[in-house]
Structure 1
Amino acid sequence: MNRLILVSVIAALFFSCAEEKKQGQVLDDAKNAFSLRKQEVSKAMQLPAELLPYERAEINAKVQGFVQRILVDIGDKVKKGDLLIVLDAPEVIAQYAETNARTQEAEANFSASKDTYERIQRAAKNEGVVSESEVISTRNRMLADSAAMVSYQSIARASSQLQAYLSIRAPFDGVITKRLVDVGDFVGTVGKSSMLTIERPDKLRLRIYVQESFVNSVPTLDSITFTSESVNDKSFSAKLARKSGSIDPDTRTELWEYEYQNQSGHLKPGMYAMATLELSRPASSFVVPPAAIATTLERKFVIRVTDGKAEWIDVREGISKKDGIEIFGNLNEGDVLLARASEELKSGTEVKTKIVSQ
């Protein structure tokens, strides 16, 4: 009897341990998961940038000629309208003189024919003094001389403009940064490089190229801070001025341009900079741990568990944060996602989950 009781106790203990082991095995097989919730997304990004002059012009010759005088050199500051280069073009000067003489002749002819017509018109008031045909002929001659005068005046203005092109002047206030000609050089030919380059350094354009996935993010501030390796231990601030409004198909980026007032002259056009861009989404988004996103050659996806079965959901990545990655896809708040996604777990596979805090 005692032996029977002992066997029963041992059997009960064995089945109890087996059941506990089975329950523990089921718990160990359960995959960690979390419930999806939206949150505010913001990030400070470090982006390379370039500093460009607010205005820059390459000065070319409008007409062909020889460089007669050069009044500036690199580093010279100039004002708008200052004379930079004087060209010598005898053909242009001769053409202007000829056109001017013909214009004066045409004006004299018109003045004479007009005076003649007015005299004949007054004489024609007396019956029989002047024939009607002579009045008409004189009037037509005056109109022809008038048309010739207008034509030559137009040609003279064009010729005067060509002569004005021999004096090269500054288009705006700035600094001469390049000089590529000397006295005696022949300029104005097609394909030849510019004579001078003038830049405006007192106001700079800070250009950054923002990735496509971030362009719909709203800068938390209208200004941006940036640094340059050329100026140690100093940061600068620039104000947002404009966005290109288009994605470059080659780089998949949008150009954002900031303006920096550089009256101090600490920065030079052409310098590289590193800008800190504060971004935030206009609406809350989903953020998941990096391990929750699986990546293959064809797609990126997370694994959603619905009615105990795995389901692959394609996603696009957004802003990367310290605690996770922003994702976009066919997802809703409250969806249960696996904390670690893998392509080995196929869609439709039954799966047990254990909810953990994200």
Structure 2
Amino acid sequence: MKKLLYILIPLVIVAAIAFKLFSNKQTATERVFHYNKDQNINVMAQKLTKESVQQESAFTGAFVAQKESNLSGELQGKVNAVMVENGDPVRKGQVLVQLDNTMLVWQQKAIEVQIEGLESDLKRYKILVENDAIQGIQLEKTEMALKSASVQHQSLQEQIKKTSIRAPFDGIVTAKMTEVGDFAAPGKPLVQVSNLKDLNLLIQVSEQDLSLFQNGQTVDILVPVINMETTGKVSMVGVKSNPGNSFPVELKVSNSNDLKIKAGFLGEVSISDPSMQNRILIPSSAIVGSDLEPKVYLIKNGKAQLTTISISKRIQNKVLVDSGLQEGDTLVIGGVINVFEGANLTPIF
């Protein structure tokens, strides 16, 4: 009897364990969700339309005078007088610096005396030649001497004029670089004159943004330091980059009547990209995968279609699409996690 119990008890235990395991498996099977791939999935969707993207690019540069000249003497000599100070307005032709011309003036007077004597001699020689009192060669020599003296006189007049350093145009003295008693020499700057009525704004533009600028184009400009808004006209678009791989762009700007904009002020140029008109913009949440290989789900005939796209940039929580989508396409923008290729979709707009 005991031997029989020893055999029956393990068999009962094994049978009980097997029954429990079978019962647990059946319960687990009943609890597992069996997905029906033919069942429609509700998703948020959007009909794609083209729109204008309001995006402006900003560039900063410095104002410089269109006309600016560092004046120096063409002759060397001592500075006798400086008639202007920094900030003084000047008119074209106004004398700004006077160099010593004493020796030139005395030479001019000596030539004038010589010319006066030669003119008197010429009158006498003409009378004598007419009466055959002297040979004609003497008259010719006097005439040549008079012409030579006249040329010397004109040369001295020009040299004396050059001792007066004059303003080449209307403007403002922006730098006084000499004082009375200094020695002036050719090429040594004495005074800087700038015309601030007309200015240039020089900015540096990357090769990607260079196409935004065209010669003759009018753009908006802000001068932050004086909170002034104005406009400028593109006068030059660079054709060669600098070592930083940016290109110079120059804009002509008219100053206010009271010359509020000073040379050296910074200016900010704002310009819209015309290529951003009529573009397709989609929510970032619609993207499946990375920006390197972006894909989206479209709804075609009620089914999900995974489509590869290319994007150019992100703008806040949206992306700008370059290719892969067309106006009128139905795009899945919400519930993408439940969608797979070929799934039956019910769009909710």
Relative to the length of structure 1, the TM-score reads 0.57
Residue 65 (structure 2) pairs with residue 68 (structure 1): no
- Is the contact made by 2:202 and 2:251 (CA closer than 8 Å) also made in structure 1? yes
Larger CA Rg, structure 1 vs 2? 2
After TM superposition, the structure 1 = structure 2 runs for residues 1-358 of structure 1, keeping only pairs within 5 Å, are: 18=34, 20=36, 39-89=51-101, 104=115, 157-190=154-187, 192=188, 194-217=189-212, 222-229=218-225, 231=226, 235-250=227-242, 251=244, 252-281=246-275, 284-285=278-279, 321-322=315-316, 331=323, 334=326, 352=341
Query: Partners of 1:62 and 1:288 in 2: how far apart?
Result: 68
CA drift of 1:176 comes to 1.5
Mapped partners of 2:293, 2:235: distance in 1: 34
* Equivalent position amino acid for 1:173 in 2: D
What CA deviation, in whole Å up to 9, does each residue of 1:221-267 have, x standing for no partner? 935241323x3xxx323232333122441242341414133223433
> Deviations 1:165-219 (Å, cap 9, x if unpaired)?
10011122222121111111111145x4x11112223444344444433343379
What are structure 2's unaligned runs of at least 5 residues? Answer: 1-25, 297-304, 333-339
Query: How far 1:42 sits from its partner (Å)?
Result: 4.1
| Matched-pair identity in % | 16
* Rounded Cα–Cα distance in structure 2 between residues aligned with 1:171 and 1:325: 56
Q: 1:280 to 1:310 in 2, by over 3 A?
A: closer
Question: Is contact 1:36-1:334 (8 Å) kept?
Answer: yes
RMSD: 5.6
Q: How far apart are the structure 2 equivalents of 1:198 and 1:334?
A: 60
Q: One-letter code of the match for 1:186? A: F
CA offset at residue 44 of structure 1? 2.7
| Separation of aligned partners in 2, 1:255 and 1:240 | 12
Which structure 1 residue ranges, 5 or more long, are not aligned? 1-9, 28-32, 124-133, 340-350
CA distance in 1, matches of 2:141, 2:277: 75
For residues 18 and 154 of structure 1, what CA distance do their matches in structure 2 show? 115
Moved over 4 A (4+): 16-19, 33-39, 89-102, 104-112, 141-146, 148-159, 282-292, 300-305, 308-313, 320-328, 351-357
Structure 1 distance, partners of 2:117, 2:50, is: 83
Q: SS in structure 1 opposite 2:238?
A: strand
Give the TM-score of the pair, scaled to structure 2: 0.58
For residues 342 and 108 of structure 2, what CA distance do their matches in structure 1 show? 92
Distance 2:54 2:120 in 1: 80
- 8 Å CA contact 2:82–2:180 kept in 1: the answer is yes
Q: Distance in 2 between matches of 1:70 and 1:214?
A: 48
- Measure the CA separation in 1 of the matches of 2:277 and 2:69: 43
Aligned length: 295
Distance of 2:35 and 2:158 partners within structure 1: 103
Partner residue in 1 for 2:335: none
Cα pair 1:209 1:255 within 8 Å, conserved: yes
Aligned-partner SS, 1:262: coil
Structure 2: distance between partners of 1:302 and 1:75:
61
Cα separation, 2, equivalents of 1:159 and 1:170:
21
Question: Which residue number in structure 2 is paired with residue 344 of structure 1?
Answer: none
